[in-house]
């Protein structure tokens, strides 16, 4: 027994199922169930919610989510070696854990969930940013999920919550904060994981706003922001050259200075510029 449930401790689970960590799958496991329960709690009240978990591995966070009262957990794991360990958890929580042996990048997860939905994951670092960008850019807003509680490398977490004026501020900050409240809720040292990664990690909690903070067409905003930060050291008028013929006039009409650099422009400014560009 291991504290939060009657299942064996994770070290025993890993040994019993031969789950040696594979670097190619970003496998850095959390074995402290008090810690995984704490991460689950940082997602807020889970009762009455379906949870999408990407990469359950041996199931430490999965057990935290179930013990904290999630209505159902849908866990998507690419590594088939983890399935027997996850089946033991499913048996201990009848009807509450569905395990999908799939690549999260290929899966139509919405079909498996009922609202309200929260996404909680200790993400594989190699696909974490790609998944976040997909979740932040659904075809319609508000999205199916109400919140995202995600583990990232500390440097990525800092980029998600960054404010204008610094090096960390970029496309990820604008995408995340335009339609979400985003904050870092927990920092974790490398030793919290087995095996320890080279860098520190942090949990970011994002709550979807009912509507964007400032009006803008999502596709135009994304194009403007991607181009502006692609050459972030250049002034806006140079970085955005070619986007539309009269870009300098649009920058001025948006209340920005053509000599500003992207990292000085607040989200409101990018939205004003996207509106000017979409106004044809």
155 binds ligand SAM (CB under 6 A): no
Angle between helices 60-67 and 33-41 (to 10 degrees): 60
63 binds ligand SAM (CB under 6 A): no
> What end-to-end distance do the CA atoms of the chain give, in Å?
65
- In the chain, DSSP finds a helix count (H) and a strand count (E) of 11, 9
25 binds ligand SAM (CB under 6 A): yes
Distance of CA 91 to the CA centre of its chain: 29
* In the complex, least distance from residue 128 CB atom to ligand SAM, rounded to whole angstroms: 9
26 binds ligand SAM (CB under 6 A): yes
Q: Which of 35, 41, 54 is nearest to 126 (CA)?
A: 54
* In the complex, least distance from residue 187 CB atom to ligand SAM, rounded to whole angstroms: 16
Please identify, among the stretches 72-80, 84-92, 169-177, 223-231, the one whose residues bind ligand SAM according to the rule CB under 6 A: 72-80
- Yes or no: say if 134 and 109 are a contact pair by the CB < 8 Å rule: no
68 binds ligand SAM (CB under 6 A): no
Place of tokens 């995984």: 36
Query: What is the x/- site pattern for ligand SAM, positions 87-106, by CB under 6 A?
Result: ----------------xxx-
- Yes or no: say if 150 and 176 are a contact pair by the CB < 8 Å rule: no
Residue 230 assigned ligand-binding role:
no
- Residues making contact with ligand SAM (CB under 6 A): 25-30, 54-57, 60-61, 76-79, 82, 103-105, 122, 124, 127
């Amino acid at each position: 027994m291991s504290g939060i449930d009657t299942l064996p401790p994770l070290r025993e689970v890993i040994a019993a199922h031969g789950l040696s960590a594979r670097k190619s799958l970003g496998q850095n496991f959390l074995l402290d169930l008090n810690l995984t329960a704490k991460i689950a709690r940082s997602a807020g009240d889970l009762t009455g919610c379906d949870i999408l978990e990407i990469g359950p591995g041996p199931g430490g966070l999965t057990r935290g989510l179930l013990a904290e009262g999630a209505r159902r957990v849908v866990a998507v794991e690419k590594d088939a070696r983890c399935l027997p360990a996850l089946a033991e958890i499913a048996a201990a929580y009848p009807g509450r854990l569905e395990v999908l042996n799939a690549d999260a990048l290929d899966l139509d997860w919405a079909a498996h969930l009922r609202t309200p939905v929260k996404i909680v994951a200790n993400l594989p670092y190699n696909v974490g940013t790609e998944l976040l960008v997909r979740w932040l850019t659904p075809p319609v807003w508000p999205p199916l999920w109400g919140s995202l509680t995600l583990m990232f490398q500390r440097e990525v977490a800092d980029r998600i919550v960054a404010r204008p004026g610094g090096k960390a501020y970029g496309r990820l900050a604008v995408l995340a904060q335009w339609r979400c409240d985003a904050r870092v809720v927990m920092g974790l040292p490398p030793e919290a994981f087995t095996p320890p990664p080279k860098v520190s990690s942090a949990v970011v909690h994002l709550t979807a706003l009912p509507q964007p903070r400032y009006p803008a067409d999502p596709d135009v905003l994304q194009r403007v922001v991607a181009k502006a930060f692609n050459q972030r050291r250049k002034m806006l008028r140079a970085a955005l050259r070619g986007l539309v013929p009269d870009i300098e006039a649009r920058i001025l009409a948006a209340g920005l200075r053509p000599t500003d650099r992207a990292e000085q422009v607040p989200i409101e400014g990018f939205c004003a510029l996207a509106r000017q560009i979409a106004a044809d």
